[in-house]
């Protein structure tokens, strides 16, 4: 027998490899990921690409609610958007939090995780050739999904000034001359852990309306904000309810990633289109897991408050460890459980640094090239880990990074 003469991967799939990043890192993003075995499996190493759900488990009631739902076969099938009772509860819960009135029938859809919500929303809104503005750096799959959909991408840098990190809104305004279809960014920022101020969000809202584009905000980490800092939801600003889509979910802050359920909030016309995508790709979010959302943001308030305190404590001493590397720059996070250390002073490819940490420190980091061109020269770590094991890992990480510094003449 002979193998098929046609290639397996479609052009859409090949675009997700981000081949043009080779200009910076010497190979496609996909090739670099494969060389580092970055497939989410861990491969026996300490994997800092996600939360430690053993040290930080879901709320006590999560498994019980799921088991009760699974015992009721009548809950196995729901409408494409989700169980009506769950959606009704979410409308009551999330409306005041987002600062907008919500209709269970018109403004909400459940998806198999927030990742699926991102894919469904972009698929619903973006046509081949559409221009999409994307924060840089930002969540690693934003660019890959848009490449799959055939979008044109214009990156908007996240910049620092005296007021902290924010999107370069002057550049955003210049990009508006090209008539973008939408803007996509995470808030709080993944990987930077930044919370953008009210002035930034207000100007962004004005631009979206004046230049007529939609905005997708991935707010997966909006519950994990430190120092009780105010968190502005873009959808709540005047004029934004009908042009903003907000992605939410319990996968990270509440450690429910294994249940695979996310929430998409947006205007009725967008949710109609999202429903069509969900029906064609997954039919519905995992039906039994949907029932967990009746308790989410209701019965876990003390749980979240305690988690924020724990993570802030680990955040602080993680930075203390990392500052033992003289050339490394690391900025405190305002939110999330991520840090994004800058190791550009080494002048080494991200892949080489990540591979050295895998080999000698026995841990996996997310190399900066994954998060966009301006992420090159960094790596991302998730510090939501068991403290004793994490202290050992940080000692090893600091040792490897200091050795690399000496080799590069930085010591």
User: What DSSP element (H or E) covers 57?
Assistant: none
Task: Note the pLDDT tens digit of each residue in 348-374.
Answer: 999 999 999 999 999 999 999 999 999
**pLDDT(335) > 80:** yes
**pLDDT(382) > 90:** yes
For the chain, what percentages of helix, strand and coil (3-state, to nearest 5) are there?
45, 15, 40
pLDDT, mean of residues 290-309: 96
Tokens read off for 252: 């990270």
Task: Report helix, strand or coil for 24.
Answer: helix
Task: Note the pLDDT tens digit of each residue in 232-266.
Answer: 899 999 999 999 999 999 999 999 999 999 999 99
Q: What is the pLDDT of residue 411?
A: 64
DSSP state of 335: B
**pTM over the 0.75 mark:** yes
Q: What is the pLDDT of residue 8?
A: 86
Task: Note the pLDDT tens digit of each residue in 89-101.
Answer: 999 999 999 999 9
Task: Report helix, strand or coil for 381.
Answer: strand
Question: 227: phi > 0 → left, psi -120 to 50 → alpha, else beta; which?
Answer: left
Q: What is the pLDDT of residue 325?
A: 97
pLDDT bucket at 160, cuts 50 / 70 / 90: confident
Between CA 273 and CA 345 the distance in angstroms is 46
User: What DSSP element (H or E) covers 355?
Assistant: helix 350-356
pLDDT bucket at 228, cuts 50 / 70 / 90: confident
Q: What is the pLDDT of residue 164?
A: 83
pLDDT, mean of residues 384-410: 97
Decide which of 392 and 160 is more confident: 392
Task: Report helix, strand or coil for 166.
Answer: strand
Nearest residue to 354 via CA among 376, 372, 333, 374: 376
pLDDT bucket at 104, cuts 50 / 70 / 90: very high
Mean pLDDT, the chain, integer = 96
Q: What is the pLDDT of residue 40?
A: 87
**Structural domains in the chain plus CATH codes:** 11-57+301-407 (3.90.1150.10), 77-294 (3.40.640.10)
Between CA 188 and CA 167 the distance in angstroms is 12
CB 382 within 8 A of CB 48: yes
Tokens read off for 136: 């840089």
Tokens read off for 312: 């802030």
Share of the chain above pLDDT 70, in %: 99
110-124, 158-172, 249-263, 306-320: lowest mean pLDDT where? 158-172
**pLDDT(317) > 90:** yes
Q: What is the pLDDT of residue 214?
A: 98
């Amino acid at each position: 027998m002979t193998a098929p003469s046609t290639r397996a991967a479609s052009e859409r799939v090949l675009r997700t490899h981000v081949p043009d990043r080779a200009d910076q890192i010497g190979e496609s993003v996909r090739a670099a990921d494969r060389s580092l075995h970055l497939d989410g499996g861990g491969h026996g190493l300490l994997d800092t690409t996600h939360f430690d759900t053993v040290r930080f488990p879901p709320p006590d009631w999560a498994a019980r609610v799921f088991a009760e739902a699974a015992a009721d076969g009548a809950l196995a099938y729901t409408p494409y958007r989700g169980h009506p009772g769950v959606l009704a509860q979410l409308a009551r819960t999330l409306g005041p939090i987002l600062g907008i009135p919500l209709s269970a029938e018109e403004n909400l859809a459940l998806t198999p995780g927030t990742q699926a919500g991102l894919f469904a929303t972009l698929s619903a809104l973006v046509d081949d050739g559409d221009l999409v503005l994307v924060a840089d750096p930002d969540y690693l799959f934003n660019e890959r999904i848009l490449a799959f959909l055939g979008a044109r991408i214009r990156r908007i840098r996240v910049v620092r000034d005296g007021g902290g990190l924010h999107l370069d809104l002057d550049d955003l305004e210049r990009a508006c001359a090209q008539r973008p279809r939408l803007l996509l960014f995470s808030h709080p920022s993944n990987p930077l852990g930044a919370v953008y101020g009210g002035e930034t969000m207000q100007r962004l809202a004005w631009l979206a309306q004046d230049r007529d584009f939609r905005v997708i905000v991935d707010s997966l980490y909006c519950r994990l904000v430190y120092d009780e800092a105010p968190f502005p939801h873009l959808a709540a600003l005047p004029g934004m309810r009908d042009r903003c889509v907000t992605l939410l979910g319990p996968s990270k802050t509440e450690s429910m990633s294994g249940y695979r359920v996310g929430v998409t909030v947006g205007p009725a016309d967008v949710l109609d289109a999202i429903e069509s995508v969900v029906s064609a790709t997954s039919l519905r979010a995992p039906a039994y897991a949907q029932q967990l959302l009746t308790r989410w943001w209701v019965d876990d308030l003390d749980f979240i408050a305690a988690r924020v305190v724990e993570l802030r404590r680990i955040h602080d001493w993680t930075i203390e460890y990392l500052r033992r590397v003289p050339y490394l720059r690391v900025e405190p996070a305002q939110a999330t459980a991520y840090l994004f250390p800058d190791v550009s002073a080494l002048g080494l490819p991200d892949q080489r640094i990540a591979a050295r940490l895998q080999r000698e420190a026995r841990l996996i980091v997310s190399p900066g090239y994954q998060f966009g061109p301006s992420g090159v020269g960094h790596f991302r770590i998730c510090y939501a880990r068991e403290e004793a094991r994490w202290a050992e890992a940080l000692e090893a990480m600091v040792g490897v990074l200091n050795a690399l510094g000496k080799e590069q003449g930085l010591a």
